[in-house]
Structure 1
């Protein structure tokens, strides 16, 4: 060192020296204990967050709800503030007013062409960011998330479809995707799987092919895909 100036200890216990005459800063690995304000010593431990459980409880209990959805024959309660804060679709819906939102005469918002289980899964994601989706509603969730413009959730569920499709569920999924409508990417993905693994499906899950008897147009699409 030549005319060392200021000295300090960094968070790793090294000595930092300003070597003014040489116009540089040097670090010496000294193995010292770092100052408490750098090491985190003296800070209280982080507390366990109850955010997830509190938000999920608020959704499932229905306490203080101010909006009700009618999904089939089931009423699902929620909170407009949460939905509008988390989803642009709901924000626009509530801004437009209930009549424009498809309300029933009782002030409930009717949700068509989906199951209560799928809609509750969508709401759970909005309240908690949870991405757990049961296989039984997976295809519905792609459609719902696309409908409500929740693209991250839609893309996640679509990746799940691509990963979770098997010879045992492929034909049932194909029929479901064909009949429920929604994004074509769901049907296209499962159709490609069925065409590619048709022989395997015949060996391992032949009984599922009976589902195609009521949908001859799907059988034609499979054959055309296999011929590509």
Structure 2
């Protein structure tokens, strides 16, 4: 399903069609009025019934209409749909985007609003190329292997997010379709198994649900075969930095956001870096390399144990100093860390993750360190996994084992073992470095990969 905030209706999939559920004229989607669908069994089944114990005072019926699509083949099952309001990144007019197993389309709604039908426009992929190898590219040159059900989301910048199952490798990958139709594969986002129901969470992370086909164990006659069914296995949350389009639309409709403590403190630290150091409010300078950061003692002491101890009145001479030096640190990394101290949040790019994790660990900020390590892990691919293993192993040795770096190393080992053949093909030079610098780790990975191969052979 998809929510059309422009008209206040719900869009649902009915096989090869898209239907629109229009709420009753009276009450609409008021909190005190529920509504159900009318327009046939198939359409009615798309509306969720409220529990009897929580039944509202009034229940209305929604009108159900089928979105008219000229020239749409009945054999093309629609698996996901999203609504784009007027003035979106794909054009000035209101439209729908939807996808089948192997293709993504755009449907302008100007004609359908007047009772006519519009022709779906192919954005990417090919309808006849089911099971094709994954290919990044533009428009019809791109290929999807098997797009998942309910796997379409729209980022605030207009990019479409889709889950694409590679049934040969049994891996689901995240694909992006940019305005204009260019398709790319997100590096480092690979989920073993079949995943559906992609969602962009309000904090920018992604969530998805894994399903698996299960054979019934019920008692059957010899001539009967149990019908297999799909069962949910688990839910994954992936550390990314997307922004749901619906969140942006809601914020725009609501006007300027209310003031918040993180926003005000973020403005405070930004103002402190302007010429003059934020006036008399900033009372401390942290010198990192050639850069000087104007800060506030009270905030640094309250938010960071490292500075709390260093600025303690009886502990160090630093407590009375107007300027402190932070040696062996990168200024850009410290700037990001400083924003985290003031606001509790920061956008960490994959290329920044190692430096942020190391500095956060040094300054006794375990939450920021863990966030940076999550970003690093999410960005891993076959070409970078070995270098990440070497770095994580070195950090573990420096810390004597345990902690967040040890947990990261364990996750990286599992990632490597699941894709050993792919890594050997993509990172032979890095593997040679691993053999030289971490021979015990290399031996452990080889043994684990062999054991996994034996187990998989037994199950076939």
TM-score tier by shorter-chain length is 0.5 to 0.7
The answer to whether the 8 A contact 1:71-1:115 is kept is yes
Change (3 A) 1:110 1:121: same
The answer to whether the 8 A contact 1:84-1:90 is kept is yes
1:165 match: 380
What stretches of structure 1 of length at least 5 have no aligned partner? Answer: 1-10, 14-27, 32-44
Of 421, 436, 439, the match for 1:199: 421
Q: Matches of residues 1-228 of structure 1 in structure 2 within 5 Å?
A: 12=32, 29=57, 48-49=258-259, 51=264, 54-61=267-274, 62-64=277-279, 65-96=282-313, 99=316, 107-112=323-328, 114-179=329-394, 181=398, 183-209=405-431, 212=433, 216-228=436-448
SS in 2 for 1:111: coil
Inter-partner Cα distance in structure 2 for 1:150 and 1:164: 22
Inter-partner Cα distance in structure 1 for 2:311 and 2:268: 21
Inter-partner Cα distance in structure 2 for 1:57 and 1:91: 22
Inter-partner Cα distance in structure 1 for 2:417 and 2:57: 63
SS in 1 for 2:364: coil
1:138: Cα distance to partner? 0.8
Superposed CA RMSD in Å reads 3.9
1:121: Cα distance to partner? 1.3
Higher helix residue share: 1
What stretches of structure 2 of length at least 5 have no aligned partner? Answer: 1-30, 34-55, 60-254, 400-404, 449-460
The answer to whether the 8 A contact 2:340-2:346 is kept is yes
Higher strand residue share: 2
Deviations along 1:194-213, one digit per CA (max 9) or x if unpaired, are: 45433212223445446x17
TM-score normalised to structure 2 length? 0.34
1:132: Cα distance to partner? 0.9
The answer to whether the 8 A contact 1:146-1:154 is kept is yes
Inter-partner Cα distance in structure 1 for 2:429 and 2:447: 23
Q: How many residues align?
A: 189
| Greater RCO, CA 8 A, separation 6+ | 1
TM-score normalised to structure 1 length? 0.62
Inter-partner Cα distance in structure 2 for 1:192 and 1:59: 44
Inter-partner Cα distance in structure 1 for 2:58 and 2:422: 65
Inter-partner Cα distance in structure 1 for 2:320 and 2:387: 33
Inter-partner Cα distance in structure 2 for 1:76 and 1:55: 13
Change (3 A) 1:103 1:217: farther
